[in-house]
Every structure is written in structure tokens, then in C-alpha cells.
Amino acid sequence: MSKIKLYGNTGSAHVAKRAAGRSSGAGRGPSGRRGPSRKRRPGRGRRALIAAAIILALLIGLYCLAVFSDIPFIAKWRTIYIQTAMDTMTHQWLATAFIPGSVIDEAMAEREQAQQEQTEHSSSENWAEQGEHPVRTPKPTAKPGESDPPETEEPAGEEEFYELFWEIDRESMEAYLEKHPEALDNGWDGLYINEAGLDDDGTSIQTTMGEQVLAVDVPNELLLVRVKGTGYRGVLAIGKDPSRLSVKNSAYLGSIGQYAGDIASDNNGVLAMTASGFEDEGGVGLGGTLNGYAMSDGKGTGAHLGWSYKRIELREDNYMYIVDEQSPVDPKTTDAVEFTPAIIVDGQQLNTSGYSSLQPRAVIGQSDRGEILMLVVEGRLIDSIGISVADCGKILMRHNCMQAMNLDGGTSAMLWYDGEYIIRCSNQVLPYGRTLPNAFVYAKG
């Protein structure tokens, strides 16, 4: 019989327990060896808490980076975000709810600086002489008492067409006419192509700037092109005859406004866009009360806005002039609107960094050839967020703009052409935009 050696004062009961454990294989694996002991793992609750803490720390870090960083790229887009929110009537909370007031004030201070600089710029009296191209003489119009304008020269031909519509890429125009010869059934001076509607895809014709042509209207001397860029799309209408432009009032000015298209239809217009702003307390204004001073066909109405606003005057010589709103109205002015900011004066694009918010925009200007430039850009839509004032200026500078001013935008920014609206309103519930106190109207030929 083998002997069992006892250590210390270990009793027989303990020895028997150990022996029983060995005989039953307790604590051993399938091979009979002792398996590894299990360690306690952290609980699921603890792991979730750690993950939440990490995510929270990351969010706080990203928030601080976005709100307080001086990195130029981040600072630029923070300013754009703040100004975009603060420029709306109902969405200012998108800035004020998340961003400290001091940061908002800093972003909006850029606007105050730009506003101060506005007072330093006004159009020179002889600006039309500064252009590189001769200003085209408008067609003669009927004198008072005459039913028709005086006889003009022989109908224009192909070369006259390309001289008038100098922006059109000739090769793409010829390719279009080859596929659509019927467009010339009425000759070059009767050529009319219109694929500018919201349900149309536009033409295959291009401008030399790479823009898609939407409409070529020779009888009314109009060219409409698509403008597109990162985050925006819009339409630029180019009126070749500045004598056709005027400001027309709502038939019910003082009580209620009218849609731009209705104002145009009432005044023999083929093209119309927003002009003056209007009193809009609570965002429910009906366009009946002008916000600022305006003139229509020589008759002024409203009151001047403030020191930082500008006035664009259309005078008897058919040229546009931008002046401070505090300046006396020139006695030769026939039509005028006040808004802000001026974008281009005497061919020089001004500093408008304080107006970097991305919004639906409406801008009017005049080229070095005397052409009327009417730009409207869609905004607050999925495929067109909006555009800054500076980028509007860049579009117009491609067309040799000499004078340009920002107009009332937002849900009022609409463009109507030949019976239909060709711009989507930022509020899809308002397919025609908002009722307006007046509109810039380009008259039919």
C-alpha cells in the first residue's frame, strides 16, 4: 500500500476531497489536463458607456473645430452657413441655436464692412464710353400718336444675326439648324427658338462661354442661356435692346402685389423679373407696400431705405447708373429701384464678401454693348442650394458687364418669359413666386 504524505496540518477530509477531484477529472480538459481559467470580461453596459463617451468627445471636438477654428477653409464655410441662416426670415435659428452670438457677430461684421465700402462706388457719367465694344443703337420706336415704328432697313441676314448674338457658338448653331431647318422658315430676322420651359431640356446650341442656349428670340432681340455651377442653376436673359426695359408697378400697388408674369402681361412684356423689395413682416406680406424708393415711367414712389443701399437708375439715354440711395434722383431718370449691394460698377467687380450666403438670387445689369443682363438663380432646392452675390458677379463679368446690382431674392426671385415661368421658386408651394410691388419688364418688339 502506498503512503500518503501529509503537509502541515492538512486533515484527512481535505486529502480525500483532493483525491476525489483527481479521480473525477474535475478542472481538466478532454485530454485530462487542466484547462485555462476563465477571466471576467467587462459588461456590455460598460462597453456602451465607453463608446458613447468616445462619440461624444469626437462630436465636441468637431463642433469646436467648426465653430471656433481659424483654418481658412472652415472659416469660409462657417461664414457662409451663418450668413445663409441669418438672411432668411424663418431659419435664423439654424445659426442662433447652435453658434455663440460672438461668432455670429464676427461673421456678420464682414457684411457691415462691405456695406461701408458700397458708399465709395457710383457709376461715372460717361461709363458707356469705357467699353471695348460700340454700344448698339436701339431700334426706332413709335412716337406718341403713331401706331407703328418708322420703317427700318432690309431684313437682317445671317451675318447680322451673328453680329447681334455675338455670344452664340456658330458651329453649334449651324448644327442645330441642320437638324431643325424649320427654324428659318421666317428668315433670320424671324428666327424664334424656345426650349426654356421647366419641362424642356434646352437646345444643343452653346455660347462661346460654354453655356447652354435655352432660347433665341430674334423678333424680341433676346437670348436666354443656362448658368450652372457647384450647387446652383439658373437662367441669364440677355436683352439686346435696352430701350425696351422699364419698371412696371403692380396694378394694385399700395394694397397688394401681382406676380411678375401678370405685371408683364398687363404691360406688353415678353420678359419679367423681380425688382423692388416689399414690406414683409412675419413673412406674410402680399407685396403691396414698397420697401424703398422706386420709379416707373418717370413717376417716383416710396421712401429711401438707408445709407448702405444703392439705387440703379435707367435714364433717357437707355444706360443704367448705380448711385447711393441718398443721392438726388437724376432728372433724366425714367425708372429706378433701390436695393443692395451693388455688384459691378464701371466694369469693376466690387467686394461683396459680406454677402456670401447661398440664396436664390435676382440681379440686373448692363454690358459694355448696352445689353440688359437679367440673372435669376434658383436656391433652397435639393439640386440648387443657391449662389453668393460674388458668384453672380462672376457670371455677369463673363458677359462684359459694366453695371450690376443685386435685387430682392429668396422666394421673390422669379423669371417669366413668353407666357411661362422658367425658374423654380425656392418654395415649391408657390409655383409663381410671390406677389410683387413691381417688376423689371422687357417689352415685346
Which grid cell sits at 326?
441718398
Judging by beta carbons within 10 Å of its beta carbon (0-12, 13-18, 19+), is residue 153 exposed, middle or buried? Answer: exposed
**Exposed/middle/buried for 71, CB within 10 Å: 0-12, 13-18, 19+?**
exposed
Q: What is the pLDDT of residues 266-277, one digit of tens each?
A: 999 999 999 999
> What's the gap between Cα 318 and its chain centre?
28
Q: Read off the pLDDT of residues 318-360 as tens digits, 9 standing for 90 and up.
A: 999 999 999 999 999 999 999 999 999 999 999 998 888 999 9
Q: What percent of the chain has pLDDT over 90?
A: 62
If 0-12 CB within 10 Å is exposed, 13-18 middle and 19+ buried, where does residue 291 land? buried
Q: How many angstroms separate the CA atoms of 277 and 309, rounded?
A: 12
The DSSP annotation for 108-152 comes to: HHHHHHHHHHHTT----TTGGGGSSSPPPPPPP-PPTT-SSPPP-
Burial classification of residue 297, based on how many CB atoms lie within 10 Å of its CB (0-12 exposed, 13-18 middle, 19 or more buried): exposed
**Residue that the C-alpha cell 439705387 belongs to:** 311
Q: Quote the DSSP letter at residue 357.
A: -
**Span between the terminal Cα atoms of the chain, in Å:** 130
What span, in angstroms and rounded, lies between the C-alpha atoms of 230 and 388?
11
Of 206, 173, 172, nearest to 188 (Cα)? 173
* Contact present, 229 and 391 (Cβ < 8 Å): yes
d(CA 18, CA 356): 84
CA angle 284, 287, 292 (to 5 degrees): 115
Angle (CA) 159 165 168, round 5°: 100
Weakest-pLDDT range from 24-38, 309-323, 364-378: 24-38
Question: Tens digits of per-residue pLDDT, 13-22?
Answer: 444 444 444 4
CA atoms of 404 and 347, how far apart (whole Å): 9
Within 13 Å and on the Cβ side, how many CA atoms surround 77? 6
Identity of the highest mean pLDDT range in 130-139, 168-177, 304-313: 168-177
Does the predicted model carry a pTM greater than 0.85? no
Half-sphere exposure (Cβ direction) of 150: Cα atoms closer than 13 Å: 7
Amino acid at 163: E
- What is the tens place of the pLDDT at every residue in 204-240? 999 999 999 999 999 999 999 999 999 999 999 999 9
Whether the Cβ atoms of residue 150 and residue 156 lie closer than 8 Å to each other? no
Instruction: Tell me: pLDDT of 96 over 90.
Output: no
Q: At residue 8, does pLDDT exceed 80?
A: no
- Do 340 and 309 form a contact (C-beta atoms < 8 A)? yes
d(CA 436, CA 252): 10
Sequence-distant (≥ 6) Cβ neighbours of residue 91 within 8 angstroms: 85
Per DSSP, what are the bridge partners of residue 278? 290
CA neighbours closer than 13 Å in the CB half-sphere of residue 215: 27
Which residue has 445709407 as its cell numbers? Answer: 307
CA angle 178/182/184 to nearest 5° reads 85
Residue with cell 453658434: 99
Amino acid at 418: D
How many Å apart are CA 139 and CA 400, to the nearest integer? Answer: 22
Distance of CA 66 to the CA centre of its chain: 24
Order of strands across the sheet that contains 320-324:
299-302, 293-296, 333-339, 310-315, 320-324
Is the pLDDT at 42 greater than 70? The verdict is no
**The pLDDT value given to residue 18:** 47
What is d(CA 301, CA 289) in angstroms, rounded to the nearest whole number? Answer: 10
Task: Tell whether the torsion through CA atoms of 131, 327, 394 and 214 is positive or negative.
Answer: negative
Is 70 exceeded by the pLDDT of residue 24?
A: no
Would you say residue 133 has pLDDT above 50? yes
Beta strand 342-345 pairing with 401-406: antiparallel
Q: How far apart are CA 227 and CA 387, in angstroms?
A: 11
Q: 3-state class of 47 per DSSP?
A: helix
